[in-house]
Amino acid sequence: MLDVSHLAAGYGRVRVLHEVSLRVPAGKIVALLGANGAGKTTLMRSIAGLATVYSGTISISGQPVTRQAPEALVRRGLVLVPQGRLLFADMTVRENLEMGAYTATGRDAWARQLSLVESMFPILRERARQFAALLSGGEQQMLALARALMSCPRYLLLDEPSLGLSPRAFGTILDAVRRINAEGIPVLIAEQNVRRILKIADYGYVLEAGRIALAGEAQELLADDRLRTSYLGAA
């Protein structure tokens, strides 16, 4: 289980998150919802060791990992697919995947993961020698997710994967998320596309101004009048 408890975090002297608590149970998909500026990305970056944590705790499988370096967290199996993808644009698809596999122990392990991600995203095999910058938005998001999978994650964080994607391309990413989760990997996914995410999630949290405003089972949140009015455009 990934457990965040009473977290206050931000950048320098600017506090963005206030007393945020959430859990990502083993084998579950958890949605993190909220408008732009609500603090979703800061929360993801805090968990991944990329933002300043002022107070509170973060633990993985009962072991505290608060304020650990990002590379240490990756070695523990906590992997973030960042907003905007942040690929190595001047490298090929294959080289990006190789960068994601830097924690792999041995060529056999690397080959197994490569076979897995290419079976999940066959287009990446076809584009292996193409520079990442030349891929479409959907293909770039597939590569970002595949690069994360190359490190054999135990916990996967996805920050705004729908950004800049067509509905069809986003559907391909969600299908991949389901497949990843079916292999037992817990997923925390931050999104503004509330309806589509809650349809695949088990549980959800809504952030407002850096605080948890709503939390509950995904289907309960879909039916919640407060969420429907604020995020789904229902009167």
Per residue in 141-200, pLDDT (tens digit) is 999 999 999 988 999 999 999 988 889 999 999 999 999 999 999 999 999 888 899 999
Query: Is 67 inside any structural domain?
Result: yes
* Sequential DSSP letters for 25-75: -TT-EEEEE--TTSSHHHHHHHHTT-SEEEEEEEEETTEE-TT--HHHHHH
Q: Are residues 131 and 190 in the same domain?
A: no
2 and 15 co-located in one domain: yes
pTM of the model as a whole:
0.90
CB-CB contact of 185 with 116 (8 Å)? no
On whether both 225 and 157 belong to a single domain, the answer is yes
The CATH number for 4's domain is 3.40.50.300
Pair (24, 126) in one structural domain: no
**Domain count along the chain:** 2
**Shared domain check, 55 and 24:** yes
- Joined together, the tokens standing for residue 118 give 């290419």
Provide the pLDDT for residue 235.
Answer: 40
Instruction: Please say which residue of 152, 173, 194 terminates a domain.
Output: 152
58 with 18, same domain: the answer is: yes
Q: Say whether both 159 and 142 belong to one domain.
A: no
Q: Which domain holds residue 58?
A: 1-40+50-77+153-163+182-235
Higher-scoring residue by pLDDT: 107, 196: 196
How sure is the predictor about 80, in pLDDT bands with cuts at 50, 70 and 90? Answer: very high
Q: Are residues 127 and 137 in the same domain?
A: yes
Are residues 157 and 135 part of one domain?
no
pLDDT computed for residue 234 by the predictor = 45
